[in-house]
Structure 1
Amino acid sequence: MKKAFRHIHLWLSVPFGLIITLVCFSGAMLVFEKEVTQWLRPEVFNVDPQGRQPLPMDEVVRRVSATLPEGVQVTGVTAFPDPTKAWQLPLSKPAKASVYANPYTGEVTGRGDRLPFFATMFRLHRWLLDSRPSGDGVFWGKVVVGTSTLLFVLVLVSGIVIWWPRTRKALQNSLKIAVRKGWRRFWYGLHVAGGMYALLLLLVMALTGLTWSFGWYRTGFYALFGVEAQAGGGHGSHNAKSQEGHQKQQGRKGKGDKNTDRTAHWQTVYEQLKQKNPDARQISLSDGSASVSVNRFGNTRGADRYQFDTRTGQLTGYTPYNELDNSGKIRGWIYSMHVGSWGGLLTRLLWFVAALLGATLPLTGYYLWIRRLQKSPSRTSGHRPS
């Protein structure tokens, strides 16, 4: 039995190992993207209150709108309780574009674009730097990443069978990484023990990540939780879908509309929501709808939803997170589990280390395989040191 699994483990790893290394490494680099970006660009995300009160939201929108190119409009505002943080204002185009503004002056502090390094890491992680084809062409980068991730699951499972010790002493020895017994023993320990320590987290990352790669897998994954995957197969958040709807609404408005009438009561709504939710992490408003996110354990994309009358600013509807549609909840849970944000800083650190260990597994496996080939060319199906 173990011999067969050694063959599976080896011959699935050899052709796809380098791809798995790139996917795991780029994924690790993305774990703390937000913090690193804010640290490198403090002039964009941080402001000095200087004892002032924020301007009304409609005034901030008006001042920001005056700086935008013709045909581009503000579709919403996300405000943060921290008085030293700039507000984020999503734009009607291009897709997912946004700017940050000083809430005390209405001055644009910068765009919400990804740093070039993280943009590269994201494209490497999702598509191996491939570009989405026009029309109905095959998105090869996405297919290769998805196929490699699926095979990585089989490699991890086969690794469990190969590694499974027969005695408690063997278990203790196999979970140690020797640092004073030579390089070969060190790389072997890193491959075996490192793989076992990161195994569960790597499986979580792989099994959730596959929902972005294959429609058939996403449908089955959702079905396990009794949820029907939405048509189109996207994992876009509620805010992204809302923004798309607002963009369509904006496209139907006249070019002279500079977000004045429709934002007149946003400040009133914001004050109401702020009073109702003193522990809010952020409050986002757009045309007739708002969301309030709090620091909750689990789904970090979860939020309570509100509806309001744009003519009066009166709240007209409320849907708490617990009563939201399950399809929206599972999208947030998949994302939170995939990136490790569900448990705060500790789980993100664990996910970061596990992803780095995942990146080393193919490399240490190649090393052990080549060493074994050099020592015994006729035997290529295992990693065990003699």
Structure 2
Amino acid sequence: MQPKKSSTWKSIRNIFDQIHLYAGLISGLVVIAVCFSGTIYVYNTEIREFMDSELYFVEETGNRMSADELKGSLEKTMESSVVGLMWNEESDRSVQFTLKKEGEEGRGNTYFVNPYSAEILGNTSDKTQTAEFMGYMFSLHRWLLLDRVETPILESISNRDLGRFINGVATLLFLLGVITGIVIWVPNKVKSWKQGLKIKWSGNWKRVNHDIHNTLAFYSLILLFIMSATGPFWSYTWYREGWQKTWDTYQEPNAKNEKTAKTEQQPEAIAPVEEVNLASFSLEDIFTKTNQELPYKGNIRVSIPSTSSDPIAVSKYKTGFFARSGSDQLTLSTSDLSVTEANLFSDLPFRQQIGRSVKSLHTGDIFGQFSKFLWFVACLIATSLPITGTLIWWNKRKKKPAKKKPNQAKPTQDRIAEMA
């Protein structure tokens, strides 16, 4: 019975080995490009802050101006209205204000502001060399740079959608490779399982390459699975909806469309709205109310409404080395700053926390700098896997059959049957 079980397991491993091989060979070049750019983009924020430090860091000179003082100064200087801001409590950091001129379309422009002098340090729309480089990395990661090709490659689909489709196929193949890889990793004999957990540096380069591929892939298996399982979320609508339904975050688009259609059909039923008297509340009061409701260290984003019918939207993000992703959101009344709605990330069911963290799970900032480092290492490993895997396949392909010994006995009848 034992030989039969061994033969069955060997056949199963061979099937998975073939799937693993061809999934890797087909997607190899795309995976290298996507994972290489992803490795860099893990630290997108940190790279931008380091290279363009003059936008993000300031010298501490005296006392910081209040948010209301900065708001008044900027609106006077720019002849625009502040419609939002990101407030950072760290003393050596700039703050961001979003301003919009009356009648201007879009979301407005966001400026980096020195909180000690109200000096405008820059604009998020300014294309610095760092911003250009990170833009290329993002384009390579999402669309394989095809969105930057002006001439349409296919008539039936845009270049961006084509890049998104190819990216999605390669990511799904990589996911298949991760799943089949664990089956291949399992050793034939239980007693030799420890060999799959270390690299034999004393071996020849083929052995070292083989061990690097197997061992590093095993240690990063969980992170590789998370990255590849979340990647197609941005490539395919069916995958995105499937993810949302799986984790109970899906919302039917018809409800919003019906509401919009009803509004367009009955414009006479809408009562005229009054503009918000921005002087009736203070940004500092908003910060105080937010910190009372959410008593932890973090950055605060405020969206200021343009009409009295709209509430004040506030989001607070935790900061720190182990800071979890996911903001807590408050809705405040424009009349008395009372909380009309509170959406706390910690109050969500575990399924919805996972569903709403798809971006953080993919990029690695699910637990701040701690998880970012782990994702960086795992993504670097993922970049190397198609290379080391191809070398393993090539080495096996070039292997020559062993020569028969001169005095080798003739095969028995049973062995002849087995070889047939």
Q: Fold match, TM over 0.5? A: yes
Q: Which residue does the alignment assign to 1:272?
A: 289
Greater mean deviation of Cα atoms: 350-359 or 267-276: 267-276
Task: Using the TM superposition, give the Cα deviation of residue 100 of structure 1 relative to its aligned residue in structure 2, in angstroms.
Answer: 0.9
SS in 1 for 2:220: helix
Deviations 1:55-105 (A, max 9, x none): 343x4234334565x9x7642011111122111123557669522111222
Contact 2:61–2:116, Cα closer than 8 Å, also in 1? no
1:155-174 matches, within 5 Å, as 155-174=177-196
Greater mean deviation of Cα atoms: 204-213 or 44-53: 44-53
Task: Using the TM superposition, give the Cα deviation of residue 118 of structure 1 relative to its aligned residue in structure 2, in angstroms.
Answer: 1.6
Contact 1:269–1:308, Cα closer than 8 Å, also in 2? no
Answer yes or no: is 1:301 the counterpart of 2:311: no
Q: Which residue does the alignment assign to 2:86?
A: 78
1:84-123 matches, within 5 Å, as 84-90=92-98, 98-112=110-124, 115-123=131-139
Deviations 1:279-332 (A, max 9, x none): 2311111222222223497851221313131xx563342404045699985554
- Tell me which amino acid in the other structure corresponds to 2:89: P
Q: Which residue does the alignment assign to 2:37?
A: 26
Q: Which residue does the alignment assign to 1:333?
A: 357
Task: Using the TM superposition, give the Cα deviation of residue 14 of structure 1 relative to its aligned residue in structure 2, in angstroms.
Answer: 1.3
| Cα distance in 1 for residues equivalent to 2:237 and 2:390 | 32
| Cα distance in 2 for residues equivalent to 1:328 and 1:110 | 37
Q: Which residue does the alignment assign to 2:337?
A: 314
Answer yes or no: is 1:179 the counterpart of 2:201: yes
Deviations 1:350-386 (A, max 9, x none): 1111111011000111112222222249xxxxxxxxx
| Cα distance in 1 for residues equivalent to 2:235 and 2:99 | 28
| Cα distance in 2 for residues equivalent to 1:75 and 1:283 | 14
Q: Which residue does the alignment assign to 1:61?
A: 71
| Cα distance in 1 for residues equivalent to 2:18 and 2:184 | 10
Distance 1:369 1:229, change over 3 A: farther
Q: Which residue does the alignment assign to 2:157?
A: 137
**RMSD (CA atoms):** 3.3
Q: Which runs of 5+ in 1 are unaligned?
A: 233-252, 378-386
SS in 1 for 2:340: strand
Distance 1:73 1:40, change over 3 A: same
- Tell me which amino acid in the other structure corresponds to 1:147: V
Q: Which residue does the alignment assign to 1:357?
A: 381
SS in 2 for 1:227: coil
1:209-224 matches, within 5 Å, as 209-224=231-246
- Tell me which amino acid in the other structure corresponds to 1:117: F
Distance 1:181 1:160, change over 3 A: same
Contact 1:37–1:115, Cα closer than 8 Å, also in 2? yes
1:285 pairs, out of 297, 302, 326, with 302
Q: Which residue does the alignment assign to 2:266?
A: none
Contact 2:234–2:240, Cα closer than 8 Å, also in 1? yes
Contact 2:313–2:329, Cα closer than 8 Å, also in 1? no
Distance 1:111 1:327, change over 3 A: farther
Contact 2:244–2:355, Cα closer than 8 Å, also in 1? no
2:391 pairs, out of 350, 361, 367, with 367
| Cα distance in 2 for residues equivalent to 1:111 and 1:327 | 38
1:346 pairs, out of 362, 370, 386, with 370
Contact 1:280–1:292, Cα closer than 8 Å, also in 2? no
Q: Which residue does the alignment assign to 1:248?
A: none
Contact 2:31–2:383, Cα closer than 8 Å, also in 1? yes
- Tell me which amino acid in the other structure corresponds to 2:225: L
Distance 1:49 1:272, change over 3 A: farther
SS in 1 for 2:146: coil
Contact 1:45–1:85, Cα closer than 8 Å, also in 2? yes
- Tell me which amino acid in the other structure corresponds to 1:119: G
Task: Using the TM superposition, give the Cα deviation of residue 174 of structure 1 relative to its aligned residue in structure 2, in angstroms.
Answer: 1.8
SS in 1 for 2:239: helix
TM-score, normalised via structure 2 length = 0.73
Structure with larger RCO (C-alpha < 8 A, sep 6+): 1
Count, aligned residues: 349
| Cα distance in 2 for residues equivalent to 1:363 and 1:115 | 29
Q: Which residue does the alignment assign to 1:12?
A: 23
Task: Using the TM superposition, give the Cα deviation of residue 337 of structure 1 relative to its aligned residue in structure 2, in angstroms.
Answer: 1.5
Contact 2:217–2:381, Cα closer than 8 Å, also in 1? yes
Distance 1:91 1:369, change over 3 A: farther
Contact 2:220–2:378, Cα closer than 8 Å, also in 1? yes
Distance 1:366 1:314, change over 3 A: same
SS in 1 for 2:288: helix
Greater mean deviation of Cα atoms: 92-101 or 368-377: 92-101
